[in-house]
Amino acid sequence: MSTPFTMLIAEDDIISFELYKARLEELHLNLLHAKNGKIAVDIVKNNPQINLVLMDIRMPVLNGYEATKQIREFNKDVPIIAQTAFAMIPEQKIIIESGFTDFLSKPVEEEKLFGLIKKYMEADK
């Protein structure tokens, strides 16, 4: 039996997390949730089986940039997708330079979300 694809969703808004959970149900992912960037760092540190992180940029305690920077100190390989409402060209450059692998603009379009997740699921095989 294969190990399930494990994805961490770092999202402080519980309604947004529940929407992601409902949208992604058909992919049969093992979903983990972090309510802030500090918890996200701790979860990635303690769960080396995580295959993908969806990281909100604007979160309490530790924002997505700082959380990603800390994750990159001990895990250079896990794909981290930034989710931001501010994905204009200048911020896109900052996102990639900050250690993120990719990004999604909010509101997240389901087709783009599924496309990125499937891309990383295929790359993980």
- The correct CATH number of 6-124 out of 1.10.10.10, 3.40.50.2300, 3.40.640.10, 3.40.50.620 is 3.40.50.2300
Residue 18 has pLDDT above 80, yes or no: yes
pTM across the whole model = 0.92
Distance in angstroms (rounded) separating the CA atoms of residues 82 and 93: 12
Compute φ and ψ for 70, nearest 5 degrees: -65, -40
Single out the residue of 125, 103, 100, 106 nearest to residue 115, CA to CA.
103
Mean pLDDT rounded to a whole number for the chain: 91
- pLDDT at residue 87 in the model: 57
Q: Mapping DSSP to helix (H, G, I), strand (E, B) and coil, where does residue 115 land?
A: helix
85-101 tens-digit pLDDT: 765 667 778 888 899 99
Q: How far is CA 34 from the centre of its chain?
A: 10
Residues β-bridged to residue 31: 7
Average of pLDDT values for 95-114? 89
Distance in angstroms (rounded) separating the CA atoms of residues 13 and 10: 9
Q: Where are the domains of the chain?
A: 6-124
